[in-house]
Amino acid sequence: MSNLVEVRNLRIEAKTDSGRLVEIIKGVSLDIADGEIVALIGESGSGKTTVALSLMGYARPGCRITSGEINVGGKNMATLSEKERARLRGTDIAYVPQSAAASFNPSSTIMEQVIEVTRIHKLMPPEQARQRAVELFRALSLPDPEGIGTRYPHQVSGGQLQRLSAAMALISDPKLVIFDEPTTALDVTTQIDVLKAFKSVMRAGGVAGVYVSHDLAVVAQIADRIVVLKGGEVQETGTTAAILSAAQHPYTRELLAAFEPKPRQAHADADAATKQLLRIDNVTAGYGPVRDDGLPLIRAVDSVSLVVEKGRNLGVIGESGCGKSTLARVIAGIHPAATGDIVFDGKDLQRAARKRSQDQLREMQIVFQYADTALNPAKPVEDIISRPLAFYHRLDRQARAKRVDELLDMVRLPRGLRYRHPSELSGGQKQRVNFARALAANPKLIICDEITSALDTVVASAVIELLKELQRELGLSYIFISHDLSVVEAICDEIMVMYNGERVEQITPDKLTAPTHPYSKLLFSSVPKLDPTWLDGLVRDPELVSQYGHR
């Protein structure tokens, strides 16, 4: 046997709520050579994690490996007894989970969990294991490698936990490490450090790896070969360079196309007398007890001013915790500002939504990131969309039904969907319904809070296209809040960069290559490119990183 891993015709079945059996992996075959890193890429539901876990002979509760061979190091994981599998788990094959924060036991110290594998399999004395762990911490460039092990998981940041879980996987010198979307939950500036650390230790040890991800650009940096999955089947396999430059399969091309920057053509009427739609001046808002000066203890948004012009879009970009979502809620009046003025369509707005007039509320709509929680699961689509029609426009039943049809057409959903409940829709469909509800109010401004972040790349780019079209037809303005630069770039006329509650820079998309503020520089340079040499060639100013990096 020449390859470390040889999977042949793997089939996995899952049991649905009603007890029906559904095949979720339909005859997957793949090879991994010694020391090779292979990426499994695909959207949610493509079966990539299921395939990766099957390499450990493990299927999540409700799933069952029905047939096929999973040869790892000459042993067929599919046919081994549970005891024999347990002997290989952690020693020969190790796992780095998607959410390290949830995968560390909260009641035990980090060191105890990192060296647990050596205890379970009696690989080495604990003292030696601890030394080895500290070496790994150092190799993964974790801060305070000597002391970090004595802490509890909740005392360490997400990016650090992700690297610690890599140390946990590598401590036993495994032949194969499975990375399950290990950087998906991280900010871009943190993601770079984690990716670099992974890459260097994997290279140094000559360890083979499986890297599960939905992000082609990330995968391009670390994988030797790419396997594209969809609907439980392999669509295409090839070296990273081949897939990126000469993809054969239409689905792969679609994935790649979603990455193509589609610069927004500048407004023809850009020079026409533009009118201010929304202006906020020196708005400060936050959480915690109010201090003597009337400001909250923790300031999530700190003296931010911005202007949105009619028919134009403002993007707000920043990493998690920078205050961009709070800003959206402040503008919408959900989280009233402590100080500052909000002027909308020429009139002063009350800070709290419940003090605003019904028309003011109607003209400014907000659309949230998770359509799952933004749509009432107990109501059919029709009721969800027609409520604003009844509430704001007092339409009768017939008029509402007609308007719901129009709105569904506008967001490119089949009219028959109106009878379904949100749980019966796909992620993209839900987000379109979410948007249709905002449109039902006939707003002038729609605040979009990370509305594409929970969607697969291909679906997200379709939603963005829809938004652009609707803007042309209806003359809307958007405030587009996102952590994803490419999304904001695609749709916005102005981009505001936020850091630590403050506005650090405002820039137009054509000047994105030359930001002036150091944080914007760091942020923009951290966005992975489809170029496999990008990570290795990336040089970052260490001073910048230490100032703005992993907080």
Partner 1 sequence: MTSGVLNLVLKRLGIAAVTLLIVLFAVFFATSMLPGDTASILLGQAATPEAVAGLREAMHLNDPAILRFLLWLLGLLHGDLGTSYANEMPVAALIGGRLVNTMKLAGITTLLSVPLALTLGITAAMLRGSVYDRTVTILSIGVISVPEFMVATLAVLLFAVYLKWLPALSSVNEAHSLTDLVRIYAMPVITLTFVISAQMIRMTRAAVIETLSTPYVEMALLKGASRSRMVLRHALPNALGPIVNAVALSLSYLVGGVIIVETIFNYPGIAKLMVDAVATRDLPLIQSCAMIFCLGYLFLITAADVVAIMSNPRLR
Partner 2 sequence: MTTGRVTTSRRSFLGHSYSLVGVVAALVILAWTLVAILAPYVIPHSIGDIVDDDYFGPMRQGLWLGSDYLGRDMLSRVLMGARYTVGISLAAVSIACFSGVVLGMIAAVTGGWLDTCLSRFLDAMNSIPSKLFGLVVVAAVGSSIPVLILTLAVIYIPGAYRFARALAVNINTMDFITVARVRGESTLYLIGSEILPNIIRPVLADFGLRFVFIVLLLSGLSFLGLGLQPPLADWGALVRENIGGLPFAAPAVIVPSLAIASLTISVNLLIDNLPQKIRDRDA
- Look at the alpha carbons of 494, 500, 501, 503 in this order and tell me if their dihedral is positive or negative: negative
Select the residue interacting with partner 1 from 76, 103, 157, 506 (CB under 8 A): 103
Binding of partner 2 by 379 (CB under 8 A)? yes
What Cα–Cα distance (Å) separates residue 179 from each residue in 49, 210, 221, 403? 9, 6, 14, 48
The arrangement of strands across the sheet holding 75-76 comes to 21-32, 5-15, 63-72, 75-76
The rounded distance, in Å, linking the Cα atoms of 66 and 75 is 17
* 89: partner contacted, choices partner 2, partner 1, none (Cβ within 5-8 A by kind): partner 1
Alpha-helix runs per DSSP H in 441-498: 457-474, 485-491
Considering the complex, what minimum distance in angstroms separates the CB of residue 153 from partner 1? 9
The bridge status of strand 63-72 relative to strand 75-76 is antiparallel
Binding of partner 2 by 17 (CB under 8 A)? yes
Select the residue interacting with partner 2 from 1, 2, 20, 394 (CB under 8 A): 20
Select the residue interacting with partner 2 from 105, 128, 373, 516 (CB under 8 A): 373
* 121: partner contacted, choices partner 2, partner 1, none (Cβ within 5-8 A by kind): partner 1
Q: Do residues 213 and 130 make contact, with C-beta atoms less than 8 angstroms apart? A: no
Number of residues that bind partner 2 (CB under 8 A): 32
Considering the complex, what minimum distance in angstroms separates the CB of residue 284 from partner 2? 21
Distance of CA 16 to the CA centre of its chain: 27
Q: What is the CA radius of gyration of the chain?
A: 25
Looking at the DSSP assignment, which residues form a beta bridge with residue 209?
A: 37, 177
Site for partner 2 in 384-423 (CB under 8 A): 387-388, 391-392, 423
Binding of partner 1 by 105 (CB under 8 A)? yes
* 333: partner contacted, choices partner 1, partner 2, none (Cβ within 5-8 A by kind): partner 2
Does residue 121 sit in helix, strand or coil? coil
Select the residue interacting with partner 2 from 41, 176, 316, 361 (CB under 8 A): 361
What Cα–Cα distance (Å) separates residue 524 from each residue in 3, 285, 318, 319, 339? 39, 27, 10, 11, 31
Binding of partner 1 by 209 (CB under 8 A)? no
Binding of partner 2 by 343 (CB under 8 A)? no
Q: Do residues 415 and 405 make contact, with C-beta atoms less than 8 angstroms apart? A: yes
Which residue lies nearer to partner 2 by CB, 328 or 464? 328
Strands (E), 173-330: 176-180, 208-213, 225-230, 233-239, 276-290, 296-309, 314-317
Stretch that binds partner 1, among 67-75, 117-125, 447-455, 517-525 (CB under 8 A): 117-125
Each residue of 75-97: b (16+ CB within 10 Å) or e? bebbebeeeebeebbbbbbbbbb
Binding of partner 1 by 154 (CB under 8 A)? yes
CB hemisphere CA count around 498 (13 angstroms): 30
- φ/ψ of residue 273, rounded to 5: -60, 105
Q: Which two tokens stand for residue 256?
A: 């790649």
Binding of partner 2 by 18 (CB under 8 A)? yes
- φ/ψ of residue 450, rounded to 5: 55, 40
Alpha-helix runs per DSSP H in 140-279: 158-170, 188-205, 216-222, 240-245, 250-257
Binding of partner 1 by 122 (CB under 8 A)? no
Binding of partner 1 by 184 (CB under 8 A)? no
Select the residue interacting with partner 1 from 48, 95, 209, 331 (CB under 8 A): 95
Binding mask 33-72 for partner 1 (x = CB under 8 A): --------------------x--x-x-xx-----------
Binding of partner 2 by 353 (CB under 8 A)? yes
* 423: partner contacted, choices partner 1, partner 2, none (Cβ within 5-8 A by kind): partner 2
Site for partner 2 in 275-334 (CB under 8 A): 332-334
Considering the complex, what minimum distance in angstroms separates the CB of residue 87 from partner 1? 6
Looking at the DSSP assignment, which residues form a beta bridge with residue 498?
A: 503
Which residue lies nearer to partner 2 by CB, 14 or 111? 14
Binding site for partner 1 (CB under 8 A): 53, 56, 58, 60-61, 86-91, 94-95, 97, 99, 102-108, 116-117, 120-121, 152, 154, 168
Binding site for partner 2 (CB under 8 A): 16-20, 22, 332-334, 353-354, 356, 358, 361, 366, 368, 370, 373-379, 387-388, 391-392, 423-424, 437, 441
